[in-house]
Amino acid sequence: MCEISEKWFREGEEQGRIEGARKTALELKKMGLPLDKIAKAVNFSVDTVTQWLTESPSVTK
């Protein structure tokens, strides 16, 4: 693969990982898991998870 294609592939792969973690965090919140446990489960900071949860209109706080 050329250098540019590899870069795009890696960026897409990372975006997919982030989106998957975000969706998992939203589902865990719906299940009532505390924020610190959600962050640990998806391997992102509490601040990042908080941002995801506040951006999603379908999640009740």
Tokens 């999640």, residue? Answer: 59
Residue 61 lies in a domain: no
Q: Length of the chain in residues, anyone?
A: 61
Mean pLDDT by 10 residues, the chain (61 residues): 79 90 97 97 97 77 46
At 43, which CATH number?
1.10.10
Residues near 38 by beta carbon (within 8 Å), at least 6 away in sequence: 25, 28, 29, 49
Whether this model's pTM surpasses 0.75: yes
The pLDDT score that the predictor gives to residue 2 is 82
Helix ranges, the chain (H) = 3-30, 35-42, 46-55
What pLDDT is recorded for position 50? Answer: 97
pLDDT at res. 41 = 97
Give a yes or no: residue 41 inside a domain: yes
Structural domain span for residue 37: 3-55
Q: Is residue 13, in this structure, part of any structural domain at all?
A: yes
pLDDT for the residue 58 = 59
Residue 60 falls within a domain, yes or no?
A: no
- Compute and round to an integer the Cα radius of gyration of the chain: 14
Give, as one character, the DSSP assignment of residue 59: -
